[in-house]
Structure 1
Amino acid sequence: MGSNYSKMTSRQYYRSASFDYVRGLLNYSLSCCVNAVLQSFSATTELLDILNKWHPSDGTDERNVPWQLRNALEFMRDKSHPAPHEDFLKCLYHQAIRPFTQHDADEIFHLILNLSQEQMSDAAVAQEIRSLYEIKVETQVVCSKCKFIHRAPSSLFSLPLAICEGENTLEGCINSFFQLQKLRDSEKFNCERCDEKQPSTHEVKLVSLPPILCVHLKRFRNNGFTRKLFNKVTFPETFSNDIFAAGQSENADGLKADECYSLYAVVVHIGPAMFGHYTAFIRPNQDRWYYADDSCVQPVLIIILYAVFRDTAYLLLYRKKSLNSSG
């Protein structure tokens, strides 16, 4: 799955070095997508901390996703373990995904989190997993005739941002996501108060943000066939909650002025839409970034990510922190 292209690119920019903390993951049956997402989960130390609160009393099941996810994340910290994620992959192959098939990293990200909640026997731990990533939004549709506001709350595990032709910025993509849209002609909304379709406005409002914010840069378009947008997206290493000011709901909760988000993982898709390869940049601590390309892991300067991979970054993971904290 484009592995030769990816490794050639990495050798071009990185010096070889050994590092014991970040484990490389062998590519089993074209598993680069799962490998990259697992690396992002491994860098999310909060997730393993939550999973370790779970003490199942009914034994273990080799097909239980949260159990195998916890094992994989623990084994990835053990440099002596020969295949830290092999059983986790088998678990996914048994019930959710097909081997030797290209998958979408955002879909795999959601799949693992959803199955981890559904198959978790401890409801409190399942809720903690959800709360770690959950973005709460509210869709508001306002009827232009009667002015009635139709509200529909929902939640997301990643913020899906469309990218445009040409240069993009993360802030611009966020503003577009929350931009008010007019519904006219065939898009008229069926107003329950008017009991007929009416011209309306549609808007998504932000209610709350999670400790871990996943941003999905939607590079794939499907108009009868799937194509990939290689347009560059400039994204900051740190940003404050002010970036969401335009999209906040009047009921917004938890958007504190003294908090910001710090980038700690990026899942990258290299190559064309149908024959690409997933890799990941991760910062497991505040000191150093690493580039994980399946079994190959190398230290890297953050400038390489911004200089080379802005047109292939696919998932951005940010951690909430206080503006007064360092790192």
Structure 2
Amino acid sequence: YVRHCLPRAHRIINMRGLINVGTHCAVNSVLQCLYVTDDFRITYSTVASELTSVLRDMDRNTPGMPPCDPNPLVDALIRYSGMTYEVQQDADTVFKCVLNALADDGDPRCKQASGLWTIRKQQSAKCSTCNAECVSHHAANNVIVYIGNNEPNKLQDYMDDYSESFRVSDYHCGTCQEETELNVTMDITELPAVLCFTVARGQRCAQRGELMVNTGAIDVPEELDCSRMCATSQPTKYELYGMITHTGPYEFGHYAAFVKKMSKWYFVDGDVVKQCPVLPLSYYNVPAHLSMLMYRRI
């Protein structure tokens, strides 16, 4: 559907598509985003051999060459995770599987590559009666963006108000031995070089009990200021360089990607590659189908 909404595209000379066999569109879309992640590409010669092979193959983009074959990588992901690709996998699931496989590879340079997306967090859990506090540290590789239910429909507003704080009722405190409440706050202590956002579009239909797709549009800026998310001396401004869209039913549907390479935007859907004459965010209905967003630190 997104493909048919595109304006007339320019001729492509420096991007290659990927063969889409069956349900591999999520893998292909994630690969295209990884391909245009500059810092990741600097290290890709040391990552798992299957990922290295397909990324190198994507570099050989002489006009007229056929699309690349991602099937060896798909097979490696199946062996690593045990998941099946006979059914459609979420792009978010594929993305995390790739990063986890790199982190587990044993080569410290692979772990460094997977760490490009690592968000560092500190959690504080405090008893509301005696103020006994437990502090723990956590890591994540994406930020989940919820839409609807009075959430901001602009990503910048969502980040300005971002909070992971919550309250637990009926909590038994081991210090004061009271049945009380627990106040939990989660602060981001370190932002990554590359920031991934996953748009949570699944919602349960109350009448039928099945998962439906929320097609609410989200306003995504080219440049994002994350200074209010984290108190840090690091640069907190990011630029958009990758987007994955999802169309169709929640359980399967279809994934495609928009990626920015050498200041130009491309639409990539399996073996179809088109240069975008304008910023893809201006295309009709793209904001309503955004599934994942990739931002790199400026």
TM-score (norm 1): 0.80
**What secondary structure, in the 3-state scheme, does the structure 2 residue paired with 1:242 have?**
coil
Q: Within 5 Å, which residues of 2 pair with 1:75-154?
A: 75-79=57-61, 80=65, 83-96=68-81, 97-118=83-104, 120-122=105-107, 124-154=108-138
Q: Deviation of residue 175 (structure 1)?
A: 5.0
Asked if 1:227 is matched to 2:209, the reply is: no
The separation in 1 between residues aligned to 2:58 and 2:248, in whole angstroms, is 27
Q: Residues 145-184 of structure 1: CA distance to partner in whole angstroms, max 9, x if unpaired?
A: 1112222211001112222246612134335541533333
Q: Deviation of residue 37 (structure 1)?
A: 0.4
| Stretches of structure 2 lacking an aligned partner (at least 5 in a row) | none
Q: Deviation of residue 283 (structure 1)?
A: 0.2
The separation in 2 between residues aligned to 1:301 and 1:242, in whole angstroms, is 31
Q: Deviation of residue 227 (structure 1)?
A: 1.7
Is the 2:18–2:67 Cα contact (8 Å) retained in structure 1?
A: no
Is the 1:48–1:70 Cα contact (8 Å) retained in structure 2?
A: no
The separation in 1 between residues aligned to 2:259 and 2:174, in whole angstroms, is 48
2:240 maps to which of 248, 256, 263: 263
Q: Deviation of residue 115 (structure 1)?
A: 0.9
Cα RMSD of the aligned pairs, angstroms, is 2.3
Q: Deviation of residue 100 (structure 1)?
A: 2.6
My pick for the range that moved more, 82-91 or 124-133, is 82-91
The separation in 2 between residues aligned to 1:131 and 1:176, in whole angstroms, is 26
Q: Deviation of residue 19 (structure 1)?
A: 1.5
Is the 1:163–1:173 Cα contact (8 Å) retained in structure 2?
A: no
Q: Deviation of residue 142 (structure 1)?
A: 1.9
Q: Which runs of 4+ in 1 moved over 4 A?
A: none
| Counterpart AA for 2:163 | F
Asked if 1:211 is matched to 2:193, the reply is: yes
My pick for the range that moved more, 66-75 or 18-27, is 18-27
1:40 match? 33
Shift in alpha-carbon separation, 1:301–1:243, aligned structure 2, 3 A: farther
Q: Residues 236-255 of structure 1: CA distance to partner in whole angstroms, max 9, x if unpaired?
A: 110223242xxx3xxx5x44
Asked if 1:159 is matched to 2:159, the reply is: no
The separation in 2 between residues aligned to 1:255 and 1:268, in whole angstroms, is 33
1:296 match? 272
**What secondary structure, in the 3-state scheme, does the structure 2 residue paired with 1:206 have?**
strand
**What secondary structure, in the 3-state scheme, does the structure 2 residue paired with 1:52 have?**
helix
**What secondary structure, in the 3-state scheme, does the structure 2 residue paired with 1:297 have?**
strand
Q: Deviation of residue 68 (structure 1)?
A: 0.5
1:325 match? none
Shift in alpha-carbon separation, 1:216–1:17, aligned structure 2, 3 A: same
Q: Residues 115-161 of structure 1: CA distance to partner in whole angstroms, max 9, x if unpaired?
A: 1221x232x21331233110011222221111122222110011122
Is the 1:144–1:201 Cα contact (8 Å) retained in structure 2?
A: yes
Shift in alpha-carbon separation, 1:144–1:240, aligned structure 2, 3 A: same
Is the 2:89–2:252 Cα contact (8 Å) retained in structure 1?
A: no
1:58 match? none
Percentage of matched positions with identical amino acids: 22
1:69 maps to which of 31, 40, 51: 51
**What secondary structure, in the 3-state scheme, does the structure 2 residue paired with 1:199 have?**
strand
Shift in alpha-carbon separation, 1:178–1:46, aligned structure 2, 3 A: same
Comparing both structures, which one devotes a greater share of its residues to helix? Answer: 1
1:276 match? 253
The separation in 2 between residues aligned to 1:261 and 1:35, in whole angstroms, is 24
Is the 2:87–2:252 Cα contact (8 Å) retained in structure 1?
A: no
Shift in alpha-carbon separation, 1:191–1:174, aligned structure 2, 3 A: farther
The separation in 1 between residues aligned to 2:277 and 2:171, in whole angstroms, is 49
Q: Deviation of residue 36 (structure 1)?
A: 0.4
TM-score (norm 2): 0.88
Q: Residues 250-290 of structure 1: CA distance to partner in whole angstroms, max 9, x if unpaired?
A: xx5x443x5410000011111221241101110022x2111
1:62 match? none
1:11 match? 4
The separation in 2 between residues aligned to 1:15 and 1:217, in whole angstroms, is 28
| Counterpart AA for 1:160 | I
The separation in 1 between residues aligned to 2:159 and 2:134, in whole angstroms, is 23
| Counterpart AA for 1:140 | S
Q: Deviation of residue 53 (structure 1)?
A: 4.2
1:60 match? none
Is the 2:19–2:67 Cα contact (8 Å) retained in structure 1?
A: no
